[in-house]
Amino acid sequence: MAATTTRLRINLAILAAVVVIGTAGFVFTEGLSPLDAVYFCIVTVATVGYGEIHPVTAAGKVLAILVIVAGVGTFVGVIANLFETWMERRERQERKRKVNMLVGIFFSTTGTTLLRTFARSDPLIGTIREGLMVTADWSAKDFARMKKVVLTHASGPAASDLDLKEIRTFLDEKKDFLLRLMENPLLLEDEGFTGVLHAVFHLADELSYRDDLAALPETDLAHLSGDLGRAYRAMMHGWLGYMEHLQATYPYLFSLAARTNPFNPEASAIVE
């Protein structure tokens, strides 16, 4: 996309220069009015050539040849780049839509349950809970503000307050699903969500290497709390991004996600 945009800018700059120089040249060599000179340049580079205006002087003919050589190819390049940019944008939007489908499946099967469990053990969840009550009238600024808040949230679930064995069992059950997500090439489009999966996988690995999760020293519990907090903050940030996508594109899915908000202790899918 960046290369196409660069080519488009270069071609537009060359085309603009050809039109400006050609216009000035035809005014000087052919004695045309500025409007007629611009008109002649445009119909020439666009290969329309109605024929009602044509150069009569030798200098004007030489200039017309230069305008044709420099301008026609550039004009065609601009049209081709515009079409290519449009196609790339459509493809990028389609890939983004598919990525968000994968993100949605992650949260509906795994992420929301983990977030709800972790939030219950977050001693400072009360300081940000109200800000996480996403509603349909949120703006892009509201989402951006809360994304910054959750990334700098100084608290997280304490390993000593969680049933680590239950979390390990839950993650083991989801391992094949999470692996399939990681193998999906579409996720290369979203580094943020890839980071979420890495954090969750690391937590699963840490738990799987411990035989007796009920008899861990305080130092190890502190280490696991750091892993839990990393996954917690990454998932919160990813959840906000997914909610923003749903709000903009799928209001009915957004409604369900808002009603089952993992940070709302009174959340319910039942519409009352």
DSSP readout, 27-38? Answer: HHHH---HHHHH
Whether the per-residue pLDDT at 65 is higher than 80: the answer is: yes
Lowest mean pLDDT among 78-87, 145-154, 243-252, 258-267: 78-87
Rounded to an integer, the average pLDDT of 8-19 is 85
Torsion of CA 222, 226, 232, 235, to 10 degrees: -160
Whether the per-residue pLDDT at 62 is higher than 70: the answer is: yes
Percentage of the chain exceeding pLDDT 90 = 53
Rounded to an integer, the average pLDDT of 200-221 is 94
Place of tokens 């449009």: 86
Name the residue among 19, 14, 11, 10 with its Cα closest to residue 44: 19
Contact 45, 72 (CB under 8 A): yes
pLDDT at 127: 95
pLDDT at 121: 93
pLDDT at 129: 95
Whether the per-residue pLDDT at 139 is higher than 90: the answer is: yes
Whether the per-residue pLDDT at 229 is higher than 80: the answer is: yes
Whether the per-residue pLDDT at 180 is higher than 80: the answer is: yes
Whether the per-residue pLDDT at 2 is higher than 70: the answer is: no
CATH code 1.10.287.70 region(s) in the chain: 2-89
Q: What is the pTM of this model?
A: 0.74
pLDDT at 244: 95
pLDDT at 130: 95
pLDDT at 242: 95
Percentage helix, strand, coil, to 5, in the chain?
75, 0, 25
pLDDT tens-digit map of 100-134: 889 999 999 999 999 999 999 999 999 999 999 99
pLDDT, averaged across the chain:
89
User: At the topology level of CATH, where does 2-89 sit?
Assistant: Helix Hairpins (1.10.287)
Percentage of the chain exceeding pLDDT 70 = 98
Name the residue among 101, 112, 42, 139 with its Cα closest to residue 260: 112
Query: pLDDT-derived band of residue 50, with 50, 70 and 90 as boundaries?
Result: low
Lowest mean pLDDT among 113-122, 126-135, 190-199, 204-213: 190-199
Identity of the amino acid at 73: G
